[in-house]
Amino acid sequence: MDVPKVAPRSAAIELAGLLDSPEIAGLVRELEATRWTGRPGYPIRAMVGMALAKSMYAIPTWTRTARLVAEHAALATALGCAESTPSEWACYRFAAKLRAYKPLLDACIVAVLDRLREANPGMGESIAIDGSDLPAYANGQRFVSKNGRERAASEYSDPDASWGHRSAVSTRKGGGYYGYKVHAAVDTLTGLPMAWTVETAKDAETTFALGLLDTVRERGFAVRNAIMDKGYDNGPIHDGCMDRGVCPVTPLRQTGRVKAGDANAPTCEHGDRTFAGTDYKRQATKWRCPTGECKPKSTWVKADRMHPLIPRHTERSRKLYSSRGAVEREFGRLKHEWAMLPLRVRGLDRVRLHADLTILAKLGCALRKARAT
């Protein structure tokens, strides 16, 4: 993808607008205050602009980003570096600086999310959590030769990556891949990512769900529902959500207890009891005797994975679950429209920075759009 998807003039206006937004300008100031000077001294604003341009125009490498800016005077002017545009090497050095000053980048992301929350009341109330594959920029041959031994981690060009598994999606076959996984919590209302982490591919997705939930909450969002696929349906995640005052919404995984009938509606001598409401404070659901003959008529069931606060058979559960697609759609957009893929960096820290910058560019543009309306 050598060609930017928009004409350089409007691209330049968009980029300058993003750089001058209070949140990104704040990041530039903070980075300037660290008194780091990039050889040969490009302005920090220009370097942040290079980083954002890379995602905004879906360019996989610094080399191509540097070339694009060098070839388009309007972009170079927008970045404030018309006399001499940054080289790919300046970009690499700047990326190293951003990794070293990750807390400043994180603070900028939080500031952008703050403003987005103000612009979108209800943002973060329901979040969808999932993980998605990021194949490494590396030799991914699992075996050293046909019928040969399995390659050791040190023999890959990216030893931080590992073998993971991805599920089949529409026409793509599932199977093993070598690389990383991005785990994210996406707001189902706006479709925007609110917390994310990149991990090596072999780590199970379920490990990161509660951490993502904590990050979304720390970022000031009042989360009420966490929507996840069947893979996340386990006791610790259910109870962890409950501890945080969040209702988990997942399909039921067919475990031994489920097969034994533990997830069925509670019964009385008159048959299956019917669901009669949820008490969120008590963290329990109410189930009524089908004939009303029992005294008392209703019984309370403390919430657990078998009987969540939003029972799986209800319309509310179905509706919430149908909004889970938001997270998969966002992974698709980030990968294909914002150049989260293909990875052209190696090592966990560099892949993490790449994901952070990709998502910051995306969120920054979403905020600009929200401000314009």
**CA 93 to each of CA 159, 347, 354, 362: distance values in angstroms, whole numbers, following the listed order:** 22, 16, 14, 23
Which of these ranges, 28-36, 58-66, 265-273, 280-288, lies near Zn ion under the rule CB under 5 A?
Answer: 265-273
268 touches Zn ion by CB under 5 A: yes
Q: How far apart are CA 243 and CA 9, in angstroms?
A: 51
When binding is defined by CB under 5 A, the residue of 46, 47, 48, 289 that contacts Zn ion is 289
**What is the token pair recorded at 2?**
């050598």
Shortest Cβ 275–Zn ion spacing (Å) = 14
276 touches Zn ion by CB under 5 A: no
Which of these ranges, 75-83, 190-198, 203-211, 262-270, lies near Zn ion under the rule CB under 5 A?
Answer: 262-270
Which of these ranges, 150-158, 175-183, 268-276, 347-355, lies near Zn ion under the rule CB under 5 A?
Answer: 268-276
Shortest Cβ 272–Zn ion spacing (Å) = 10
265 touches Zn ion by CB under 5 A: no
Cβ-contact 256, 322 below 8 angstroms: no
When binding is defined by CB under 5 A, the residue of 294, 301, 348, 370 that contacts Zn ion is 294
Shortest Cβ 289–Zn ion spacing (Å) = 3
Which of these ranges, 136-144, 168-176, 178-186, 270-278, lies near Zn ion under the rule CB under 5 A?
Answer: 270-278
**What is the token pair recorded at 148?**
């040969």
Shortest Cβ 286–Zn ion spacing (Å) = 14
**CA 331 to each of CA 108, 165, 315: distance values in angstroms, whole numbers, following the listed order:** 21, 16, 27
Cα distance between the two ends of the chain:
31
The mark string for 101-130 relative to Zn ion (x by CB under 5 A, - otherwise) is ------------------------------
DSSP summary character for residue 86 = P
Q: Which is nearer to Zn ion, 207 or 274 (CB)?
A: 274
The mark string for 222-261 relative to Zn ion (x by CB under 5 A, - otherwise) is ----------------------------------------
How many residues touch Zn ion under the rule CB under 5 A: the total is 4
Q: Which is nearer to Zn ion, 118 or 293 (CB)?
A: 293
Q: How far apart are CA 345 and CA 120, in angstroms?
A: 34
**What is the token pair recorded at 350?**
């560099």
When binding is defined by CB under 5 A, the residue of 270, 316, 329, 369 that contacts Zn ion is 270
CA 121 from centroid of its chain's CA atoms = 20
Query: How would you class 236 by CB atoms within 10 Å of its CB: exposed for 0-12, middle for 13-18, buried for 19 or more?
Result: exposed
Q: How far apart are CA 199 and CA 161, in angstroms?
A: 8
Q: Which is nearer to Zn ion, 196 or 287 (CB)?
A: 287
Strands of 205-297, DSSP E: 225-227, 247-249, 267-268, 271-272, 274-279, 284-288
DSSP summary character for residue 143 = B
Shortest Cβ 290–Zn ion spacing (Å) = 6
Q: Which is nearer to Zn ion, 139 or 291 (CB)?
A: 291
Residues that bind Zn ion (CB under 5 A): 268, 270, 289, 294
